[in-house]
């Protein structure tokens, strides 16, 4: 077998198969491998005419089919299968070869794998890939980490197969060393959770408070999609809401069980944020909301609890309310992204990744699930000021959120009065109000901690740490 393939893909389920086709369609010779060889042959049989594929059955054949230095993409189930595949292939590779893990790995695993393989001289690139199976085929957003020198030869290939933003820029960049790519992909998914939760809350408010039907709400989302909320998730929301179930003739959304599923990345985003001390309350509420939806027995047992009596809005009130919901959704979305970017910036500082936040916003503009017109403006905000403390410190976003705040508050008042759960909108507003507050009750918390645990406190008027003798004469001593 000649070593002619420029890249190889092992793991040919939905994602790997489409990624391999994407490379081939872009003119690269692609070596194929899968644990179960039948998948490899099925791909060649069905799509062999799309490009130059080299089907292989064994690990040795696969490695032998690759030109050197070798570029080997792993697209298997994240976790143990990835380690198993690395253990199978690494002994067959040579210094300078490259393993690219395109699965949804935890960034800590990526850091470990990169460290282990570095000892062998193998470049390990953990690459977050977003866009689902369609993205993998037609152009995903790609978030590669790993050694920067690997990007010299890999980068141009990824740029070719990636999505392109509206200005033609490829949706891929070298995010940073070792686990930086998978970390950014994790936060991308966390933001995706928050975006979906906020859209869900907007839908329920329009349905339960304004009294619109799913078809009418689909039209509202279509209108929103022509404005500043223009995004893939808003677009598909309109599609899902306008779909009618063929079997029953009911709106599709009414025949689907209201129990949301989750894989792991949203939960990881929150777990890591807790470790880093970053408040990602919007993402956390989204994860909890999915979790609550799945507790069917608990929900069943609570159905009889008292709630307010809803009062229907008139047609003109409903229309005005819909405009307010748009404001609340947009303002809450700004907060979600603010929190997500804060987590990336904290991760970057903790692990010394030096991540360019503007570049991250830029590569999310196409191909990925959270692609949105709005990301152009986030990129511009970070490009104008790389050390922006928060998106809310950007003048344009600050002005927009300021202009939205009255409606945002009014929507939450309506939600509370009518008993519609809006944890995402509420958490976002609480975050906004907490950030802009002159004083927070944390001062009282510190007093309590000092009272029961002598944990000490710092004063507003003097340096140092202090303790009050609560059980004695309440005099203050230096802590
Ligand atoms: P799956 O996550 O369903 O994994 C199936 C693949 O893993 C098959 O090729 C299977 O081989 C292989 N595999 C398993 Br399972 N255990 C293995 C082992 N011990 N050794 C070797 N191969 C093993 O595939 P997917 O949905 O295409 O996703 C691939 C990766 O991409 C995952 O990490 C996923 O999280 C990530 N991802 C998925 C999406 C998406 O929308 N689906 C989006 C972004 C990222 P077999 O054929 O022999 O069983």
- 134-156: pLDDT as tens digits: 999 999 999 999 999 999 999 99
- 9-23: pLDDT as tens digits: 999 999 999 999 999
Residue whose Cα lies nearest atom 17 of ligand 1: it is 81
Other C-beta atoms lying within 10 Å of the C-beta of residue 170: 22
179 Cα: distance to centroid of ligand 1 (angstroms): 20
Give 1's pLDDT tier (boundaries 50, 70, 90). low
- The residue-averaged pLDDT of 264-289 equals 97
Report residues whose beta carbon is within 6 angstroms of any ligand 1 atom.
11-16, 34-36, 39, 75-78, 81, 84-85, 103-104, 129, 132-133
361 Cα: distance to centroid of ligand 1 (angstroms): 27
371 Cα: distance to centroid of ligand 1 (angstroms): 24
Which token pair is 275? 């470790």
Question: Which conformational region is residue 38 in: left (phi greater than 0), alpha (psi within -120 to 50 degrees), or beta?
Answer: alpha
The three-state DSSP-derived secondary structure of 78-138 is CCHHHHHHHHHHHHHCCCCCEEEECCCCCHHHHHHHHHHHHCCCCEEEEEEEECHHHHHHH
Cβ-Cβ contacts under 8 Å for 428 (sequence gap 6 or more): 198, 281, 282, 331, 332, 335, 336
Which token pair is 199? 């859209």
Give 262's pLDDT tier (boundaries 50, 70, 90). confident
- 310-354: pLDDT as tens digits: 788 999 999 999 999 999 999 999 999 999 999 999 999 999 999
Q: By the 8 A CB rule, do 145 and 178 touch?
A: yes
14 Cα: distance to centroid of ligand 1 (angstroms): 8
Site to probe by mutation for ligand 1, drawn from 8, 9, 13 as the one with most ligand atoms within 8 Å of Cβ, is: 13
pLDDT of 353 reads 98
79 Cα: distance to centroid of ligand 1 (angstroms): 10
Residue whose Cα lies nearest atom 22 of ligand 1: it is 35
DSSP string, 17-83: HHHHHHHHHTT--EEEE-SSHHHHHHHHHHHGGGS-EEE-SSHHHHHHTB-SS-EEEE-S-TTHHHH
- The residue-averaged pLDDT of 152-167 equals 96
Residue whose Cα lies nearest atom 20 of ligand 1: it is 81
- 399-431: pLDDT as tens digits: 999 999 999 999 999 999 999 999 999 999 999
Q: Catalogue the active-site residues.
A: 185, 192
Site to probe by mutation for ligand 1, drawn from 41, 43, 77, 101 as the one with most ligand atoms within 8 Å of Cβ, is: 77
Calculate the average pLDDT of the chain: 96
- 31-82: pLDDT as tens digits: 999 999 999 999 999 999 999 999 999 999 999 999 999 999 999 999 999 9
Question: Quick one: which atom of ligand 1 is closest to the CA of 80?
Answer: 19
Residue whose Cα lies nearest atom 18 of ligand 1: it is 81
Question: Quick one: which atom of ligand 1 is closest to the CA of 17?
Answer: 27
Which token pair is 314? 């008139």
């Amino acid at each position: 077998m000649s070593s002619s393939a420029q890249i190889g893909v092992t793991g040919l389920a939905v994602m790997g198969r489409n990624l391999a086709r994407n490379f081939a369609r872009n003119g690269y010779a692609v070596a194929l491998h899968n644990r179960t060889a039948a998948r490899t042959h099925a791909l060649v049989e069905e799509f062999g005419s799309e490009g130059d594929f080299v089907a292989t059955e064994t690990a040795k054949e696969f490695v032998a089919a690759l030109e050197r230095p070798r570029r080997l993409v792993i697209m298997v189930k994240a976790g143990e299968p990835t380690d198993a595949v690395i253990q199978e292939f690494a002994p067959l590779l040579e210094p300078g070869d490259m393993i690219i893990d395109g699965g949804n790995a935890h960034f800590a695993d990526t850091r470990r794998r990169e460290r282990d393989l570095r000892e062998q001289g193998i470049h390990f690139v953990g690459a977050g890939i977003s866009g689902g199976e369609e993205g993998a085929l037609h152009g995903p957003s790609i978030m590669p980490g790993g050694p920067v020198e690997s990007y010299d030869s890999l980068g141009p290939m990824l740029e070719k197969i990636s999505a392109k933003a509206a200005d033609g820029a490829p949706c891929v960049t070298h995010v940073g060393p070792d686990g930086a790519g998978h970390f950014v992909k994790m936060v991308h998914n966390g933001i995706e959770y928050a975006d979906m939760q906020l859209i869900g809350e907007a839908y329920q408010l329009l349905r339960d408070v304004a009294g619109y039907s799913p078809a009418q709400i689909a039209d509202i989302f279509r209108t929103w999609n022509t404005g500043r909320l223009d995004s893939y998730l808003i677009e598909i929301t309109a599609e899902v809401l306008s779909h009618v179930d063929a079997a029953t003739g009911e709106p599709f959304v009414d025949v689907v069980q209201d129990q949301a599923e989750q894989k792991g990345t949203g939960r990881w985003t929150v777990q890591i944020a807790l470790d880093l001390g970053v408040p990602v309350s919007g993402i956390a509420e989204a994860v909890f909301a999915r979790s609550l939806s799945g507790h069917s027995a608990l929900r069943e047992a609570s159905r009889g609890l008292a709630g307010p009596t809803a009062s229907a809005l008139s047609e003109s009130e409903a229309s005005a309310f819909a405009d307010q919901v748009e404001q609340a959704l947009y303002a809450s979305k700004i907060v979600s992204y603010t929190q997500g970017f804060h987590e990336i910036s904290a991760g970057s500082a903790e692990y010394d990744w030096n991540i360019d936040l503007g570049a991250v916003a830029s590569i999310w503009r196409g191909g990925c699930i959270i692609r949105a017109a709005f990301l152009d403006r986030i990129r511009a905000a970070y490009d104008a000021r790389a050390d922006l403390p928060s998106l809310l410190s950007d003048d344009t976003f600050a002005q927009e959120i300021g202009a939205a705040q009255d409606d945002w508050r009014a929507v939450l008042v309506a939600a509370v009065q009518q008993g519609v759960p809006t944890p995402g909108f509420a958490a976002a507003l609480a975050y906004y109000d907490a950030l802009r507050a002159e004083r927070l009750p944390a001062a009282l918390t510190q007093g309590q901690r000092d009272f029961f645990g002598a944990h000490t406190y710092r004063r507003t008027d003097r340096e140092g740490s202090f303790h009050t003798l609560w059980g004695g004469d309440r005099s203050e001593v230096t802590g």
